[in-house]
Amino acid sequence: MHTGETEASAADGWERARQLNLANWNERASVHGQDRYYDMAGFLAGSSSLRGTERRLCGDVAGRDLLHLQCHLGLDTLSWARLGARATGVDFSDVAIGRARLLAAQAGIDATFVQADVLDLPADLGDAFDLVVASYGVFTWIGDLDLWARSAARALRPTGHLVVVDMHPLAQMIEQRDPLVVDFPYADDGPHRTSSESTYANPAAVLRAQTTVQWAHSLGEIVTALTGAGLRLELLHEHLSTDRDDRPGVFALGDDGRWRLQVWDQDLPVLFSLTATKNCPAEGIRSVQARG
């Protein structure tokens, strides 16, 4: 998956990286949604795309304003809406946002979808959400973690919570389990250009926009970016198993129906999850209460 080629120039590289990734995600958004990974037919028949981890961490979302970052086809955003959240999904892919809006209309669900870069959210999304949620394929697409963390923090109301569930950086390092191939760094060493004609949610599709740029981010870098944006970490879990095959060919299915990443009979972490709150100074809390 990873070629390991590191780009030298950062500033120009970022805009070029964004263009490459956008072209790739637009194409993926047009071919995803036909299989069990993004099961649109099942969703329209009433099923939820949410998994237990984010459900538990978000708690009861009924009546809460929820922002779903990097929402892709909108299945999770709309699943949160079905649970009673006032849900908004954001993605930089116009194709994804178009499909999400269409799905909302087909399902008769009231939700808002905004085409925007997560690193540059529209001002009217600021200070507007009780929950900001991002999951399963988030940080590898982000070159500037500090900017991402500031965006998420800005969207939260003073008492709001950020919930993240993402691939564990250790699992991202591993391209193949047997024999073991490790071809991606644990921590950020700059952009990595990758080329692949296939996509995880539609193996039959052959992509034209094959080149993407991804970044490695260690758990320490992620937590430091969030706390640097004024968020207070509440919990950080490292998961040794998961309920879906997030890395076909790398994760293996156990007798208990859970997927694991086993190297030399030891379980490596497959996902991490965290929640954080906005670090609200006493003055800020008083002014919010006064408004309420």
Ligand X SMILES: C[S@@+](CC[C@H](N)C(=O)[O-])C[C@H]1O[C@@H](n2cnc3c(N)ncnc32)[C@H](O)[C@@H]1O
Least distance CB 251 / ligand X (angstroms): 16
CB 81 within 8 A of CB 87: yes
Least distance CB 188 / ligand X (angstroms): 16
Residue numbers 182-221 binding ligand X by CB under 6 A: none
Residue numbers 91-120 binding ligand X by CB under 6 A: 91-93, 96, 117-119
Q: Which of residues 2, 25, 111, 171 is near ligand X by CB under 6 A?
A: 25
Residue 37 within binding range of ligand X, rule CB under 6 A: no
Residue 259 within binding range of ligand X, rule CB under 6 A: no
C-alpha R_g of the chain: 19
Residue 70 within binding range of ligand X, rule CB under 6 A: yes
Count of CB atoms situated within 10 Å of the CB of 291: 6
CB 260 within 8 A of CB 270: yes
Residue 129 within binding range of ligand X, rule CB under 6 A: no
Sort 41 into a burial class: Cβ within 10 Å, 0-12 / 13-18 / 19+.
exposed
Helix (H, G, I), strand (E, B) or coil at 135: strand
In the complex with ligand X, which residue's Cβ is closer, 90 or 170? 90
Residue 268 within binding range of ligand X, rule CB under 6 A: no
CB 23 within 8 A of CB 219: no
> Residues binding ligand X: what is the number (CB under 6 A)?
18
Residue 136 within binding range of ligand X, rule CB under 6 A: yes
Report the phi/psi class of residue 97: left, alpha or beta, with left for phi > 0 and alpha for psi in -120 to 50: alpha
CB 152 within 8 A of CB 134: yes
Residue 21 within binding range of ligand X, rule CB under 6 A: yes
Enumerate binding residues for ligand X (CB under 6 A).
21, 25, 70, 72-73, 75-76, 91-93, 96, 117-119, 135-137, 141
